[in-house]
Structures are given as C-alpha cells and as structure tokens.
Structure 1
Amino acid sequence: MELASVVPPYVATPLELLPFRAVMLAPERVGDPASARALARPYRDVAARLEQWIAQGRATADTAPAIYLHEYTVGGLTVRGLVGALSMSRRATSFDERAVWPHEAIHPEQAGELADRMLQMDLNPAPILLVHHGRAQLREIVTSVSQSAPDWRYLDRTGQRQRIWAIRDADTLAGIAGLLATTRCLLADGHHRYAAYLRLQEEHPGTPWDTGLAMLVDQDDTPLFLGAIHRTFPGTTLIDLLGASRAAGAQVTPHERHQALLALDSTHFVLTDGESWHVVTPPALPQDAPVSWVHDSVLPRLTRSEVRVMHHHNVDEALAAAGPAAPAVLLPSPDFEQVRALVESGGLLPEKATSFQPKPSLGVLMRPVLGG
C-alpha cells in the first residue's frame, strides 16, 4: 500500500485573498460534462481554447479584477464564500504563523502533475475550499453584499443555483482584507492543488504564480457538510481485518446489517464483506478519529503486501465494491471541530478521510494566471 505521507508547507499569516479577473463558462455549460473538453489535453492549448470559447459566447471573461462572493444552492443546502487569489509566497515557521492548515498528507508526484498541468493551461481551473470561523464584521460585509442584486444568477446543468457578486469597491475590499489578515482556516478540499500552488510559487516567484485560486467559506454562516469517506481493501480478507483489529486492542462484535449500520458513531466503525457484519470499538480515542485508528493501528498489522486502499463517498458505493476479496470499512462522519482541533495540535488525518460537501460546479469561476 502506497499511502500519502508528505505534508505540504503551511502558508503564513497574514492571510491575503486578492482580486483577480475571472473567466466563467456560460451558464448552460457550467457543470456540463462535455465542457470538460475545454480543460482537456493537450493542456498547452487550453488558454487558446478558452479564448475561442469566449469569442463564441461559450464562456465570458470579467471586465476587471474583483473578489467574488459566490453562493450556490443544491439539495436544499446553500454555501457561500469569498473567492480570490490566495497569496502563497509566505511560509510559516511556527504554529502561531500558520494561516492555512492542511488536514491530510499528499502524494508529491500527484501534486507535481497538477502543477505541470496548471502551468501548461495558464489557469487555476477551480478554487480550493478553505473553511474558517469568520468574524462577525466579515459576516456583516458578506450579508450586505448578498442583499444586493447579483452580477450573475442562473441554474446550471447539475441543478446548482448560482449567484455571484463582483466586489470591487475599494473600501469594501480594504475591510475584507483587514478582517482576513488574522484568519486561520482549514484546508477542506484540494490538498494536492494547494501543494501544486506552492510548487508553482517556488518555481516562479515574483509572478502571478505567487497566488492560487481559493474559496473561503465561513462555517458559522453557511456550513459545509462534513461526511465520511469509506474504504474497501482489495487484496485482503474480512478475517484478516478482524484479526488485525483485535490485535490492535479493539473489541469486535458481530451484528446484523441494520444493527451494525446503526452503531456507526464517533467511537465505532463497521467491517463487512457484504455478508458478515462486525462493529469495531477501538480502545480509547482521546483525539484520533476512527479513520486514523484504522490506518495507524490496523493496516500495519496486515501482512499481505498486495493490499490496496480504495475510497468510496457513500455506503452504497462501498458495499457495491465489497466482497470476500475486498472487505469494506464503513466509517462515521468526522466532526468539524474534531478535525480542526486535531490539525491545530499538530496532527493529521489519513488521505481522503473527509468529504466536505457540497462543492461548487466546475466552470463557475476560473482564474487565468499570466493571461489574466
């Protein structure tokens, strides 16, 4: 098993979210799988392809730089956040200086591939998601902006309702900058893109690659839902997983399917091959989430070298992939405050331990870098 093990550097305070000139797909193309062609290989042609789409009316470029308030609604959930170019040029050397806190490790080669792709495209195709507890004054600014008529408003191809405001007023931008300067935020989604931003900044200092596209969501205003990402382990068996769990000190109790699923909570997880169901109670978890305990205490006790880790965003998907040669681990949803406390004390969760939802559709706000 090749697990992510490298922690990207921490961006240092003051947190800066800078204006940029957005490129946006036309409303009828946002979220359309066919629109992915605009961002497909060869990546070196993407900038020219987007210019062609703009000329054809299939995309638009904003007239001037702005910080954007982006609000999207899907499935009854509304999320809004400030979208801007996040300054990446300062690195924290102490805990107190850290402005952006990753909660997962990354694969350097994957981050390198993303950096090379963005460099060829001259584009940040989607924002990373940052989450924080915003100050009351910042929420007042966001609320005030959101009460005015949006600059763009539409329903996209996926059913997300989009509303976007371009913030250009100098006093409003100055107020946002002052309130964000001391913000400490959790990197919710986009760890490899964040690492790619850092690599591009290191390789091209003093250029627009000093920044990367980010959306900052206030968890006290329009919180993202934090869900679990389940696992299957092709290459091992349920018996092996049960034995490794017991050897690590866990209590393992067989149950019927319904009872097992009801037992999922912050201190229990479920092992199954689709036929046999077992609730696992790890020893005391003073801070670690069950997913951390699985990776730190169970997986190292599996002796088969060919074991792989597959990730699934819902129980049905995990169970569809489970079987005698690929047992599943069904995990409870982590708690946002638990994740935040863990990372701010120096800990990390395993790769793909959390799923922050809903995410915005692709193509709403993109950032040309050198050409913007």
Structure 2
Amino acid sequence: MDSGQVVTPPYVAGPLRLLPFPGLMLAPHRVGDPSTGRAFARPYRGVAARLLRWQSRGLVRRDAAPALYLHEYTAGGMTIRGLVGALDVSRRATRPEDRAVLPHEGIHPAQADDLADRMAEMGLNPAPILLVHHGTPRLGELMAGVLGTTISHEFTDRSEQQHRIWAIRDAALLADIAEELRDSRALIADGHHRYAAYLRLQQRDPGGPSDLGLAMLVDQSTTPLFLGPIHRSLAGTSLDDLRNAAASLGMTCTDRSQSEAVAALGPSTLAATDGKEWVVVDLAVPTDRAAVEVLHGQLVPALPHGPTGIGYHHTVDDALASADPRSTVAVLMPAPSVDLVQRIAEDDRLLPEKATSFQPKPSLGVLIRSLRDEADAPS
C-alpha cells in the first residue's frame, strides 16, 4: 500500500478504563507453539468452535468470573509486568487534552477493516495490544501488594517464556486501580492496526462487548519494554545517491570503515552501506524529532534515484544481508527513546511506518478475550 493510504486512527477519550473480563487461557504447552497460530486462522467463523473442542480436551481454560490480570513474563533475561484487561474504547476524544490512548504510527484502513472482520467472525480478541505508561506511585504500591498474593497461574511456555499471572477480583482493589488509571495516558507500543480494528468494531456494534478491546498496560517506570530500531534498505539507489542527497540538504556525509560507521550510530546519525563501502550521515535532528522522521521526511525525498522500494529489518544482520552495490543501500537506524516517542504522540504527530520495535512481546495464547461469552453473559 502506498503512503497516501496511511491515516491517523481515532483517539479514545479518557478516563482510561481497563475493566475485568473472563479470560481464556491456552494450555501451557500450546502457548508459544508456532502451530498455535493456526487455531486462529481461516475459516475465522470456525475459531470459536475450535477453541470449544480444545476446551473439551483440556487445552483451553475458561475463567468463570471476570478479573483484571497482572501478567508477568520473562524472555531473554527481561521481565515485563502489565495489567491485562478490557480497554474501554467507547468514547472518542474531540480535543487533544482528552486523549487517553496515543498512537504513534498511522494505519492502513483496509488492514484495520480486515482485522475487524476477523475478530467479528472469531468472536474473539486473540491477543492484547501492548500499551505503555508511567504509573502513579500509588499504582506501584497496589501492584506490589498483588505480587505478594497467591499466583493464579505459573508456567514456562514452548518458546521458553516464563509466565506468572495473578487474577484480581477484589472489588475494593479494583476500584483503587481504576482510580489510579483514570488520568493516565497510554502510548501504543504494539498493535496499532488491532487498536483501529477495535474502534471499527465498536462503531459497527456500540453498546455491547465491542465497546471494549483486550489490552496489556505496562508501567515503563517499573518493568520497561526495550525499544529498538527498525533498520531500512533502500532499493534502486546507491551510496552516491545518498551522498548527493545529504549534500543537497547541507548534511554531513562521511566515508568510514564499517566499525567506525557502526560506532558513530546515534540519535542524530545513521550508518549506511552498499555492502562494500560505508558512510555516516549527520542528520542534524531537532530535539523534538526522531532520526527516522528526518530520514523519511527529508533525506529519502532528496535522493536523485529511487528508492523503488523500502525494506524493514529488525536486526542489523538482516539489513546488511540486503545491501548490494548494484541495487540496494542498507541504512542502520538509531532507536528513539520512549519519552521522545511519547512526546511526538502528545504533539499529535505520527512517526513513519515501522519506526519502533518494542520488545519482548508476550507469547500468543496466554490471555484471550471472548466477545461471544460476554454477549451471552447475563446482565
């Protein structure tokens, strides 16, 4: 899809509300198993029936009573902890100061529509979107208290992620948590298109289960997600094109060795290679902007040739593998800080597509929300 099809999703209005829901949980040996994804594949109308069959075989656990869940997972030596609940998406913000959820990337409307259709057919939110915020000191105290209670579920999944889950049902505690969350502003870390799909479902069928969407809210002050860069490859261009573009913009472009170029990578500098030569480009990034904004907003449009395509790579090795002196320049990007991304979102700006990679993400199947169960539940 071309960039003209990227739009800003609507904003959810505060107060931020994360509500209890009756969780579905796959059996531990199914969580993190690559084959588990097939349970949520076409035909989507059959997904609910598949999960019912799995439940009859003991492969799915269904909580009888709604809860907020404190979910802690450890992957690659990093431990992340967040509240999982049903995010209220029923109200739209008309003023910037009313926003409760902040996207930082645009979405493709057709992709959001497709995801909404899938969720409606499945009758499920298969996985929570990831949100980050800075919780209040009081919220931290409440969560510390939860950690001292009995664990509801504890297991290591097929991908070696370790999970601990506490179900929170005490009415007084839930009220205290709600009070501490109400004035929060959450940044979307992962799941922009699923967030937009929630809003489409709510618009189609307001007043019921679609007023809510599954979310995990991580406190960056206590167990922060790691924010890494997503590197680029520019097809149909060359290092000479990059040098010429930088010169036309008054940017410094310096030839370096590979080790020097990689070492120079920083908030306002990027390193680029065609697989043989390396350069470092000083982007002179303003303090309120990210390097990826300057790359896409200034440097790429100034290229005398190309790019005919842009590739996105989560690792340096993948980016370097795409470099070719005849056809493709690999660009290694610095990661923006979480606070900078938050400020950009607060300013009602969007970063270019695939600008951030928040890690680690929880495995699929730990907590699932059934829209059908909630629609059929007695009021």
TM-score (norm 1): 0.97
| Residue matched to 2:29 | 28
Return the alpha-carbon distance in structure 1 between the equivalents of residues 246 and 22 of structure 2: 52
| Residue matched to 2:121 | 120
Query: What secondary structure, in the 3-state scheme, does the structure 1 residue paired with 2:150 have?
Result: coil
Q: CA offset at residue 5 of structure 1?
A: 2.9
Residues 290, 336 of structure 2: 8 Å contact kept: yes
| Residue matched to 1:42 | 43
User: Does residue 1:345 correspond to 2:355, yes or no?
Assistant: no
Query: What secondary structure, in the 3-state scheme, does the structure 1 residue paired with 2:224 have?
Result: coil
Residues 231, 328 of structure 1: 8 Å contact kept: yes
Cα deviation digits, residues 133-152 of structure 1 (max 9, x gap): 10011111111111222100
| Residue matched to 1:268 | 269
Residues 285, 291 of structure 2: 8 Å contact kept: no
User: Does residue 1:369 correspond to 2:371, yes or no?
Assistant: yes
Return the alpha-carbon distance in structure 2 between the equivalents of residues 117 and 242 of structure 1: 46
- In structure 2, list runs of 5 or more residues that go unmatched: 375-379
Q: CA offset at residue 322 of structure 1?
A: 2.0
Paired residue total: 372
| Residue matched to 1:143 | 144
Residues 235, 306 of structure 2: 8 Å contact kept: no
Moved more, 301-310 or 222-231: 301-310
Residues 249, 283 of structure 1: 8 Å contact kept: no
Q: CA offset at residue 284 of structure 1?
A: 4.4
Q: CA offset at residue 275 of structure 1?
A: 1.3
Q: CA offset at residue 161 of structure 1?
A: 0.4
Q: CA offset at residue 261 of structure 1?
A: 0.3
Query: What secondary structure, in the 3-state scheme, does the structure 1 residue paired with 2:61 have?
Result: strand
Return the alpha-carbon distance in structure 1 between the equivalents of residues 247 and 68 of structure 2: 52
Query: What secondary structure, in the 3-state scheme, does the structure 1 residue paired with 2:16 have?
Result: coil
| Residue matched to 1:181 | 182
RMSD between aligned residues: 1.4
Q: How does 1:149-164 map to 2 (within 5 A)?
A: 149-164=150-165
Match of 1:333 among 332, 335, 347: 335
Residues 234, 307 of structure 2: 8 Å contact kept: no
One-letter amino acid of the structure 2 residue matched with residue 368 of structure 1: S
Q: CA offset at residue 304 of structure 1?
A: 5.0
CA distance 1:305–1:284, shift in 2 (3 Å): closer
Cα deviation digits, residues 165-217 of structure 1 (max 9, x gap): 11111111111111111111111111111111111111111120111000000
Q: CA offset at residue 302 of structure 1?
A: 3.6
Cα deviation digits, residues 267-286 of structure 1 (max 9, x gap): 10011112111000013423
Query: What secondary structure, in the 3-state scheme, does the structure 2 residue paired with 1:206 have?
Result: coil
CA distance 1:260–1:272, shift in 2 (3 Å): same
CA distance 1:113–1:282, shift in 2 (3 Å): same
Return the alpha-carbon distance in structure 2 between the equivalents of residues 115 and 144 of structure 1: 37
Query: What secondary structure, in the 3-state scheme, does the structure 2 residue paired with 1:28 have?
Result: coil
Return the alpha-carbon distance in structure 1 between the equivalents of residues 219 and 151 of structure 2: 19
Cα deviation digits, residues 63-104 of structure 1 (max 9, x gap): 211110000011111000000000001111111101111111
Cα deviation digits, residues 269-308 of structure 1 (max 9, x gap): 0111121110000134231111110110022224556611
Query: What secondary structure, in the 3-state scheme, does the structure 2 residue paired with 1:6 have?
Result: coil
Query: What secondary structure, in the 3-state scheme, does the structure 1 residue paired with 2:372 have?
Result: coil
Q: How does 1:66-77 map to 2 (within 5 A)?
A: 66-77=67-78
- In structure 1, list runs of 5 or more residues that go unmatched: none
Return the alpha-carbon distance in structure 2 between the equivalents of residues 293 and 278 of structure 1: 17
Cα deviation digits, residues 320-343 of structure 1 (max 9, x gap): 122231211100111111111122
Query: What secondary structure, in the 3-state scheme, does the structure 2 residue paired with 1:27 have?
Result: coil
CA distance 1:284–1:223, shift in 2 (3 Å): closer
Return the alpha-carbon distance in structure 2 between the equivalents of residues 189 and 126 of structure 1: 11
Return the alpha-carbon distance in structure 2 between the equivalents of residues 155 and 229 of structure 1: 29
TM-score (norm 2): 0.95
Query: What secondary structure, in the 3-state scheme, does the structure 2 residue paired with 1:370 have?
Result: helix
One-letter amino acid of the structure 1 residue matched with residue 247 of structure 2: R
One-letter amino acid of the structure 2 residue matched with residue 252 of structure 1: C
Cα deviation digits, residues 11-34 of structure 1 (max 9, x gap): 111011011111111001100001
One-letter amino acid of the structure 2 residue matched with residue 2 of structure 1: D
| Residue matched to 2:377 | none
Return the alpha-carbon distance in structure 1 between the equivalents of residues 239 and 45 of structure 2: 47
Query: What secondary structure, in the 3-state scheme, does the structure 1 residue paired with 2:29 have?
Result: helix
Q: How does 1:74-153 map to 2 (within 5 A)?
A: 74-153=75-154
Return the alpha-carbon distance in structure 1 between the equivalents of residues 306 and 121 of structure 2: 37
Residues 244, 304 of structure 2: 8 Å contact kept: no
Q: How does 1:301-312 map to 2 (within 5 A)?
A: 301-302=302-303, 304=305, 307-312=308-313
Return the alpha-carbon distance in structure 2 between the equivalents of residues 18 and 11 of structure 1: 15
Residues 249, 282 of structure 1: 8 Å contact kept: no
| Residue matched to 2:219 | 218
